[in-house]
Amino acid sequence: MVVLLVSLALTVVAAPAAFAYPLPGKVTGDVGVHDPTVVKRPDGSYLVAHTGNGIALKTSTDRTAFRNAGAAFPNGTSWANPYTNNSRNLWAPDLSYRDGQYYLYYSASTFGSNRSAIFLATSPSGNSGTWTHRGLVLESRTSDNFNAIDPDLAVDDQGRWWLSFGSFWSGIKMIALDPATGLRADSTVRSIAGRNGGAIEAPNIVKRGNYYYLFVSFDQCCQGAASTYRVMVGRSTSVTGPYADRNGTALTSGGGTEILAGQGSVHGTGHQDVLADSDSDVLFYHYYADNGASLLGINLLAIDSAGWPYLH
């Protein structure tokens, strides 16, 4: 299915012909982010959550100018302390808005460890200090072959809830959730993507046309301008897979079609989140500037005639 997309609020900076991908679109204000996720609110404004103390929040009325909106948990998250060594820094949130309520899945861990946990909170407004802790969704221990960080909620055509997650170790996993609680529904852990122990993380699943698209980040994050993060995608007719790339290679066997990578002064593009907006699908992600600052990247996303995503 070809989707014709027109930008209303986002000014996209034209990329020189030598660049393989468009440069990040114009954003202003408070745009320092890492691991962004976004929802559009009922009033038409945007709420962004990202890695930070107590999960950092930002808002925008036009998808261009952003401002600081505090933290989801300004008073801390004592329940996460065993996984963070008492740090308030929480990682890689996933925001969604369903049936008048905001859902926030987020990660607690320390760098390089798979002693990790994913928690759920809900809020009637999404604003700082209004989030209610709903409990532990999943944890991983050092004896496990997966890492319980980078959550992403997907709801399939049958209304079933699924949480994909994962960073390094044996790859991207998926569990079923109970829609009534948002918590884990059973003990099954499915594998949906992997690179034989290589660097893969940050899943994001969306349904467009006949396909579920699984976006992931390959290679190295969190090294400033030396980061090599890049955005890859595969697709499947089932939310649980199997996912394959444009060449037919299974994502469980290292497959993935690249749709965005670093270029010029844009380094380490990744930890992507697709927003279905009124004018277009939009990809939110972070990238690093030459000075190592982690910044918000936004580009429009379309599907080509063969059913594959691309940025423009």
Check residue 224 and report its DSSP letter.
G
Domain layout of the chain by residue ranges: 28-311
Specify the residue for token string 């444009």: 246
Number of continuous H segments (helices) and E segments (strands) in the chain: 1, 22
Stretch 255-277: mean pLDDT: 98
pLDDT of residue 13: 43
Distance (Å, whole) CA 198 – CA 172: 11
* pLDDT score at 18: 74
35 a catalytic residue: yes
Say which of 94, 201, 245, 281 is annotated catalytic. Answer: 201
To the nearest whole number, what is the mean pLDDT of the chain? 94
- Active-site residue flag, 178: no
Arch. (CATH architecture) of 28-311: 5 Propeller (2.115)
Q: Is 83 helix (H, G, I), strand (E, B) or coil?
A: helix
Q: Report the Cα 45 to chain-centroid distance in Å.
A: 19
AA identity, residue 214? L
Contact 194, 250 (CB under 8 A): no
Distances, alpha carbon 160 to alpha carbons 32, 96, 100, 231, in Å = 34, 15, 18, 26
pLDDT in tens, 180-227: 999 999 999 999 999 998 999 999 999 999 999 999 999 999 999 999
pLDDT, tens digit, for every residue of 58-85? 999 999 999 999 999 999 999 999 999 9
Cα 292 versus chain centre, distance: 21
Tokens of 45: 């404004």
